[in-house]
């Protein structure tokens, strides 16, 4: 695979910084299975097998028809990784300064870049960074309506690499619900490399959903860094069925007492899909909680991966951490790999992890068929019941409707017997 990367600097200073980070990337190149964190997802080989070249030529993007999810919400629109527009009219706030959205520029990005000097993907992102957004919710403000990030990909993106970043700050005593809604209408394969930063100040809360509307033959890597202050909480939901390739990493630091980080994922992986969820949750203060529930349904030669690490510092007494991953394999050609880890230095903690994988429950299938339900429909019912277990804590009816439509769109199991 040939790499044709062009460095564009806004000034001589930014040009030199970009060149520095590109040099850091070239020393290691794309990660491969020789690295422990990438042992299940050999990115170097995956990109080599699917791209003759990668370049970051300037895109001439056609504006898509804007989608409306038909419920009251605020919106941020990205086109091929760049901020296009935003609309918070639904909020009807008297003080427009309660929330701001601005373009994420290189200077903002560099505030975070030094944290990831050893990471080739973050170095590459900094070197070729070309957009994104920064969202700030001011103190003592609870967003009345969800924010939908319409993440569009459109036009001819053959052999493109898109490097962008997103930063979300939820200030003290504030809260928000955000839905990242991916819509891929592009032509030609592309690779997207994204860095995300979420900072929750004291008593702040965030519900964050990643949902893709349609199937995509493209390649997505995401690194998300989350900082939680005292009494703050985040619930992150990942519903990315239908992507050919995705690796979603989360690094959560529980930096204040009584903070809580939760990760939920429900995926149906079809023909030759490969997706990995990787989490590191660091309990660094007392009385904190974390909860992870990861579920994959796999068929048609797909591969699902979960790597989850819970770290408990010696001062993080009264920690309560839970982690569970489950794989439902529908054929012998598919694979579910897990690597759960606990690293505990405190003695007054409650930590558990578990992982299971198996086939369709024959007794449950027999029960449904005995009541006149055809084999294929019965299997789909079992699949939906398995995946929808991660929806139990979601109270928003509009979001539940979007997720059930997502499952209906992407669960395409074809029974091999009647």
pLDDT score for 418: 45
Q: Name, in order, each residue with C-beta under 8 angstroms of 267's C-beta and a sequence gap of 6 or more.
A: 238, 239, 240, 241, 275, 295, 296, 297, 304, 387
Of 184, 243, 219, 157, the C-alpha closest to 30 is: 219
188 in the Ramachandran plot: left (φ > 0), alpha (ψ -120 to 50) or beta? left
Enter the pTM of the model.
Answer: 0.95
pLDDT score for 113: 63
What is the per-residue pLDDT across 283-317, written as a single tens digit (0 to 9) for each?
999 999 999 999 999 999 999 999 999 999 999 99
**Half-sphere exposure of 340 toward its Cβ, with a 13 Å CA cutoff?**
17
Residues in the chain: 418
pLDDT score for 61: 67
Kindly indicate the confidence band of residue 117, based on its pLDDT and cuts at 50, 70 and 90. Answer: low
Instruction: Decide: helix, strand or coil at residue 357.
Output: strand
What is the per-residue pLDDT across 189-241, written as a single tens digit (0 to 9) for each?
999 999 999 999 999 999 999 999 999 999 999 999 999 999 999 999 999 99
Q: DSSP for 62-84, please give it.
A: PPPPPP--SSS-EEEEEETTEEE
Instruction: Decide: helix, strand or coil at residue 313.
Output: coil
Distance CA 321, CA 290 (A): 5
Run of H or E residues at 32 = none
Distance CA 177, CA 74 (A): 10
Run of H or E residues at 131 = none
Kindly indicate the confidence band of residue 114, based on its pLDDT and cuts at 50, 70 and 90. Answer: low
3 close to 53: Cβ distance less than 8 angstroms: yes
Label residue 257 exposed, middle or buried (CB < 10 Å: 0-12, 13-18, 19+): middle
Label residue 278 exposed, middle or buried (CB < 10 Å: 0-12, 13-18, 19+): buried
pLDDT score for 65: 80
What is the per-residue pLDDT across 28-65, written as a single tens digit (0 to 9) for each?
999 999 999 999 999 999 999 999 999 999 876 677 78
What is the per-residue pLDDT across 149-201, written as a single tens digit (0 to 9) for each?
999 999 999 999 999 999 999 999 999 999 999 999 999 899 999 999 999 99
pLDDT score for 416: 53
CA angle 172, 207, 119 (to 5 degrees): 85
Could you state, in order of their start, the residue ranges of all structural domains in the chain? 2-363
Distance CA 94, CA 91 (A): 9
What is the per-residue pLDDT across 250-284, written as a single tens digit (0 to 9) for each?
999 999 999 999 999 999 999 989 999 999 999 99
Read off the pLDDT of each residue in 404-416 and give the average, rounded to a whole number.
Answer: 82
Give the ranges where 66-225 is alpha helix by DSSP (H). 106-113, 120-127
What is the per-residue pLDDT across 70-80, written as a single tens digit (0 to 9) for each?
899 999 999 99
Q: DSSP for 386-404, please give it.
A: HHGGGGTT---HHHHHHHH
Mean pLDDT score across all residues of the chain: 92
Distance CA 408, CA 399 (A): 14
Read off the pLDDT of each residue in 328-348 and give the average, rounded to a whole number.
Answer: 95
Q: What's phi and psi for 377, nearest 5 deg?
A: -65, -35
């Amino acid at each position: 695979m040939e790499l044709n990367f062009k460095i564009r600097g806004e000034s001589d200073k930014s040009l030199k910084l970009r060149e520095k980070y590109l040099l850091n990337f070239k020393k290691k190149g794309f990660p491969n299975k020789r690295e422990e964190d990438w042992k299940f997802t050999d990115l170097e080989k995956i990109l080599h097998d699917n791209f003759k070249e990668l370049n970051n030529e300037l895109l001439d993007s056609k504006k898509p028809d804007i989608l409306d999810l038909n419920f009251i919400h605020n919106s941020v629109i990205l086109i091929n990784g760049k901020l296009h527009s935003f609309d918070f009219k639904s909020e009807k706030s008297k003080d427009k300064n309660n929330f701001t959205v601005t373009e994420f520029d290189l200077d903002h990005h560099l505030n975070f870049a030094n944290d990831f000097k050893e990471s080739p993907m973050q170095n590459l992102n900094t070197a070729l960074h070309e957009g994104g957004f920064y969202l700030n919710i001011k103190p003592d403000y609870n967003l009345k309506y969800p924010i939908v990030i319409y993440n569009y990909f459109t036009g001819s993106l053959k052999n493109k690499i898109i490097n962008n970043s997103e930063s979300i700050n939820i200030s003290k005593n504030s809260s928000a619900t955000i839905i990242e809604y991916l819509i891929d209408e592009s032509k030609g394969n592309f690779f997207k490399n994204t860095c995300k930063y979420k900072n929750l100040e004291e008593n702040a809360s965030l519900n964050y959903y990643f949902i893709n509307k349609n199937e995509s033959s493209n390649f997505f890597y995401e690194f998300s860094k989350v900082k939680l202050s005292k009494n703050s909480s985040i619930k992150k939901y990942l519903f990315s069925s239908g992507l050919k390739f995705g690796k979603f990493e989360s690094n959560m630091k529980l930096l204040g007492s009584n903070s809580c980080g939760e990760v939920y994922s429900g995926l149906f992986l079809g023909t030759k899909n490969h997706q990995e969820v990787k989490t590191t949750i660091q309990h660094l203060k007392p009385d904190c909680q974390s909860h992870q529930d990861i579920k994959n349904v796999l068929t048609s030669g797909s591969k699902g991966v979960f790597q989850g690490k819970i770290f408990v510092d010696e001062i993080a007494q009264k920690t309560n951490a839970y982690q569970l991953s489950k794989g439902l394999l529908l054929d012998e050609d598919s694979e579910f790999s897990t690597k759960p880890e606990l690293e505990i230095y405190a003695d007054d903690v409650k930590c558990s992890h578990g992982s299971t994988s198996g086939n369709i429950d024959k007794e449950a299938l027999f029960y449904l068929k005995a009541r006149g339900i055809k084999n294929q429909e019965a299997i789909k019912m079992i699949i939906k019941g398995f995946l929808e277990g991660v929806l139990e804590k979601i109270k928003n009816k509009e979001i539940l409707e979007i997720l059930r439509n997502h499952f209906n769109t992407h669960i395409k199991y074809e029974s091999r017997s009647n």
